[in-house]
A and B are shown apart, each in its own frame.
Chain A
Amino acid sequence: EPEVTQTPSHQVTQMGQEVILRCVPISNHLYFYWYRQILGQKVEFLVSFYNNEISEKSEIFDDQFSVERPDGSNFTLKIRSTKLEDSAMYFCASKGSGQPQHFGDGTRLSIL
């Protein structure tokens, strides 16, 4: 069964550094998402992406965040200047038209 793949599984970064989280969505899916989950808290929506542009973003997704689909297969989340509070699990998801969202197993981001 096709799946969403995220790399790396764990990223450790110094505060203030830029980080890029990578995702390979399921082939032929049209909608792409990033969510995050701070340890012990709810899964929170960050951003959705469709037709090469952001469809919706949450208050969390400020100017420090950006997303890109640089080619036909990857979907990336960039955090320009990381803060301690950015430490969380970041989940990528994708879906086809009229289908449920499929999630990857996440990247654990640790900011030191």
Chain B
Amino acid sequence: DAKTTQPNSMESNEEEPVHLPCNHSTISGTDYIHWYRQLPSQGPEYVIHGLTSNVNNRMASLAIAEDRKSSTLILHRATLRDAAVYYCILRAFQGAQKLVFGQGTRLTINP
């Protein structure tokens, strides 16, 4: 499994943008970059995924470096509800591929 590296923790203020980095220097050409998050006492929740191009959805944006060796999850305007552990995971999108979770980044949002 290709490895990802994320900071253990980050802190931001409510209503400010948050940029969560992920390094994945050994990514293969068929690996999609997935982001999940886990709110306290809940199961993991899908946030966004991408392959090569930057992606936007109602929850976040995903910026992917041109060489695909790193990516950044962007929360445009953080709320207290965005406090969670964020996981960057590489996985082929088709088939029954399991998700391999690392320690993720624990995001704290200050009011």
Question: A residues within 8 Å of B by Cβ?
Answer: 4, 31, 33, 35, 42-45, 48-50, 55-56, 91, 93, 97-98, 100-106
Contacts of A103 in B (CB 8 A): 43-45
User: Which secondary structure characterizes the binding site on chain B?
Assistant: loop
Residue from A42, A97, A100, A105 in contact with B43 in the complex, judged by beta carbons closer than 8 Å: A105
With A and B bound together, what is the CA distance between A33 and B43 in angstroms? Answer: 13
- Of the listed stretches B6-14, B18-26, B72-80, B95-103, chain A binds B95-103
Closest to B100 in A: A45
| Interface size of B in residues (CB-CB distance below 8 Å) | 20
A94 smallest CB distance to B (angstroms): 11
B99 and A101 form a contact (CB under 8 A): yes
A103 to chain B, nearest CB (A): 3
A interface, over-half SS: strand
Q: Find out whether the CB atom of B43 lies under 8 angstroms from the CB atom of A104.
A: yes
Contacts of A44 in B (CB 8 A): 101
Chain A residues with CB below 8 A from B108, complex form = none
Chain A residue numbers with a CB within 8 Å of B95 are 31, 55
B76-111 contacts to A, CB under 8 A, are 87, 93-96, 98-103
Of A33, A35, A42, A106, which is within 8 A of B102 by CB?
A: A42
Residues of A within 8 A of B43 (CB): 4, 91, 93, 103-106
Q: Take A42-B103, A98-B93, A100-B34 as given contacts and tell me if A48 and B98 are in contact as well, using a CB distance cutoff of 8 Å.
A: yes
Closest to A104 in B: B43
User: From residue B100, how far is it (CB to closest CB) to chain A in Å?
Assistant: 7
